[in-house]
């Protein structure tokens, strides 16, 4: 698969603060590549350098065969973006925004078709200030996709949205990829990265501390399955002898069994064999949140 973005040893400092210490990664054509981390981890500085919006202090960046620091103009029209601080004048209407942004592109843009594609036709005359959060995100995506760019950078796209609007926006991100664009998704939402991204780079302290597919990261660093249930006062020490079980702990009558994924069924069978059938038996499979805790030593909330 072709590489459309290559970053090697990227470094950026603001005075005495190192925003990006040493970041390297490659993005393949046609994938949704996620940069996952807390606020201040260096994600936004990284994608700004990729787009030629921020000068780098060291390292190499190649986007579609072009160094954005030397020739950002050559990338205009080939890269679309929705920045973390995206906003429009309150009184600007949806149709006006699309026409304005389209006028700055070399390619012809069908404004009516764009409005229909992104489900904005009904609000084409509505002012930006009157749009809902979901409608604003659809407009930003429509603007980012004008001219059919090859790469689209989406920075904290769903921050501030309610759960329903966030999930609707996820469908739009997939639509961006399905229309042929490679997507770089910057986010601090674990579920968002896990569901959308083909590969994820976890950024911490200006460095990438893990990079792979979400499934591979979870399998490698997710610390197995956690099984919980009420003991009802029964001694369940025998579970420590079940193959695959790493640890059995009991706190206030609640048992937690940490085990490899295949051990869940044998644990349940062992309980049944001892006449124990807890009604609250639950299985917690590891997620990217667990991976993040493992590789950074802190939860995302502790870092923000």
The 10s digit of each residue's pLDDT in 19-62 is 999 999 999 999 999 999 988 899 999 999 999 999 999 999 99
* pLDDT for the residue 303: 54
The mean pLDDT value for 147-163 works out to 86
Indicate if 240 and 173 belong to the same structural domain. no
Beta-carbon count within 10 A of 158 CB: 23
For position 127, which CATH number holds? Answer: 3.40.50.300
| Residues 93 and 236 grouped into a single domain | no
Mean per-residue pLDDT, 172-186: 90
Element housing 142 (H / E): helix 133-144
- Domain assignment present for residue 273? The answer is yes
Which residues are registered as beta bridge partners of 12? Answer: 20
> What mean pLDDT, rounded, does the chain reach?
89
Is residue 290 in some structural domain?
no
170 plus 138 within the same structural domain: yes
Asked whether the predicted pLDDT for residue 139 surpasses 60, the reply is: yes
181 and 247 inside one domain: no
With 0.75 as the threshold, say if the pTM is over it.
Answer: yes
129 against 303, higher pLDDT:
129
Look at residue 270 and tell me if it is in a domain.
yes
Residue 193 lies in a domain: yes
Provide the token pair at 72: 């950002």
Which of 219, 244, 260 is the C-terminal boundary of a domain? 219
Task: Label residue 150 by pLDDT band (50, 70, 90).
Answer: very high
Single residue among 197, 219, 241 that ends a domain in this structure? 219
In this structure, the answer to whether residues 24 and 116 fall within a common structural domain is yes
Q: How many residues does the chain have?
A: 304
267 & 163 share domain: no
Do 114 and 238 lie in a common domain?
A: no
The per-residue pLDDT for 40 is: 87
- Domain boundary (173, 194, 219) is at 219
Report the domain count for the chain. Answer: 2
Q: Give the CA distances from residue 98 to residues 70, 141, 216, in Å, rounded to whole numbers and listed in that order.
A: 29, 11, 40
CA dist 22 and 18 (Å) reads 10
Q: Nearest to residue 150, comparing CAs of 1, 26, 29?
A: 29
Instruction: Kindly give, in sequence order, each residue whose CB lies less than 8 Å from that of residue 108, ignoring residues fewer than 6 positions away.
Output: none
Residue 165: domain span? 3-219
In sequence order, what are the residues at sequence separation of 6 or more whose Cβ sits closer than 8 angstroms to the Cβ of residue 84?
Answer: 44, 155, 156, 159, 186
- pLDDT, one tens digit per residue, over 121-133 is 999 999 999 998 8
For the domain that residue 271 is a member of, what is the CATH number? 3.30.70.100
Asked, for residue 304, whether it belongs to a domain, the answer is no
């Amino acid at each position: 698969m072709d590489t459309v973005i290559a970053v090697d040893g990227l470094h950026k400092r603001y005075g005495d603060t190192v925003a990006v210490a040493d970041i390297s990664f490659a993005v393949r054509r046609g994938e949704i590549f996620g940069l996952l981390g807390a606020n201040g981890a260096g994600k936004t500085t990284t994608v700004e350098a990729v787009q030629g919006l921020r000068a780098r202090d060291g390292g190499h960046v190649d986007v579609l065969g072009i160094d954005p620091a030397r020739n950002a103009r050559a990338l205009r029209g080939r890269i679309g973006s929705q920045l973390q601080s995206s906003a429009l004048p309150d009184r600007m209407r949806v149709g006006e925004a699309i026409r304005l942004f389209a006028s700055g592109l070399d390619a012809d843009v069908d404004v009516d078709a764009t409005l229909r594609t992104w489900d904005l036709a009904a609000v084409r005359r509505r002012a930006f200030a009157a749009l809902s959060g979901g409608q604003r995100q659809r407009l930003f995506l429509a603007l980012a996709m004008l001219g059919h760019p090859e790469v689209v950078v989406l920075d904290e796209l769903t921050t501030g949205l309610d759960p329903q609007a966030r999930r609707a926006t996820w469908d739009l991100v997939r639509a961006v990829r399905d229309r042929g664009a490679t997507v770089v998704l910057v986010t601090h939402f674990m579920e968002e990265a896990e569901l959308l991204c083909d590969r994820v780079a976890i950024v911490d302290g200006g460095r990438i501390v893990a990079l792979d597919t979400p499934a591979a990261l979870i399998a490698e660093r997710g610390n197995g399955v956690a099984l919980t249930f009420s003991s009802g006062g029964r001694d369940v020490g025998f579970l420590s002898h079940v193959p695959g079980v790493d640890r059995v702990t009991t706190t206030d009558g609640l048992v937690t069994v940490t085990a490899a994924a295949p051990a869940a069924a044998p644990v349940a069978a062992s309980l049944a064999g001892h006449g124990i059938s807890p009604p609250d038996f639950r299985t917690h499979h590891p997620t990217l949140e667990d991976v993040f805790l493992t590789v950074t030593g802190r939860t995302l909330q502790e870092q923000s």
